[in-house]
């Protein structure tokens, strides 16, 4: 729990001149600090099996995990597997997915994805990155979500929060998801990749907001070259925290 009376410490980190070893050590200290702050960090999409997680992740584009979680119980009650979803009525599917936004495109996407699973993998979600990214509408981000959370295969998920925080923290200088994924993989132990992604996402949703981060209530200000760009006052920053 953040103590509102603590004083914000600005940092002296200079990413431009930071050595690779220093950056690696700082990245791992950041991850440890976020692990203490968010001990319950996890995938916030509800799922019971790899198929449900794959579909839910595809549906999460341009909407919130909360909205997806409100929609998928109805979807999977009617279409519990790839075979049934592949044969779904477009009109019925669009109506179910309407609350998630872009529902026509999403209906086509999950139908095509399901057909590919049936035709290429016997209706089962493959457990290899190289197979997942060949499925329609599935990129490395979605594949790493599924592998990390449904199969226990470590991976970095370069969603918007991970991309934003990696740049703010000086852990990458790129805005290319593939490069950011590579940079974070080089900085963190492989066993920690999945959980490190969850912790960055939790931090981005609860503290390090896009427009105005709660810097005065952040546990990693001493490790962040962007510390102080948001609300510095500890009391005001603590009031901004979510979750």
The catalytic residue positions are 141, 159
CB 152 within 8 A of CB 193: no
Backbone conformation region of residue 122, classed left if phi is above 0, alpha if psi is from -120 to 50, else beta: left
Residue with tokens 């699973």: 117
The distance in angstroms from the start CA to the end CA of the chain is 11
Cα→Cα distances 143→14, 61, 118, 126, 138, Å: 34, 14, 18, 10, 6
Rounded (10°) angle between helices 20-37 and 193-206: 70
């Amino acid at each position: 729990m953040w103590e509102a009376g603590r004083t914000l410490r600005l940092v002296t980190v200079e990413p431009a001149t930071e050595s690779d070893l220093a950056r690696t050590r700082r990245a791992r200290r950041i991850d440890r600090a976020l692990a203490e702050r968010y001990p319950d960090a996890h995938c916030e999409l509800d799922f019971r099996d790899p198929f449900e997680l794959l579909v839910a992740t595809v549906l999460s584009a341009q909407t919130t995990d909360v909205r997806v979680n409100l929609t998928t119980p109805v979807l999977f009650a009617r279409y519990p597997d790839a075979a049934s979803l592949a044969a779904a009525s477009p009109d019925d599917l669009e109506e179910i997915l309407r609350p998630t936004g872009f529902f026509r495109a999403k209906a086509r996407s999950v139908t095509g994805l399901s057909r590919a699973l049936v035709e290429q993998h016997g209706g089962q979600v493959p457990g290899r990155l190289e197979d997942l990214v060949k499925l329609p509408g599935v990129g490395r981000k979605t594949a790493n979500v599924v592998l990390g959370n449904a199969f226990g295969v470590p991976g970095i998920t370069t969603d918007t929060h991970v991309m934003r925080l990696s740049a703010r923290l000086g852990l990458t200088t790129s805005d290319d998801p593939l490069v950011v994924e590579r940079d974070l993989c080089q900085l963190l132990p492989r066993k920690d990749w999945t959980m490190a992604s969850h912790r960055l996402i939790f931090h981005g949703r609860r503290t390090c907001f896009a427009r105005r981060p709660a810097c005065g209530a952040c546990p990693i200000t001493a490790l962040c070259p962007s510390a102080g760009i948001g609300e510095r006052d500890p009391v005001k920053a603590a009031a901004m925290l979510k979750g």
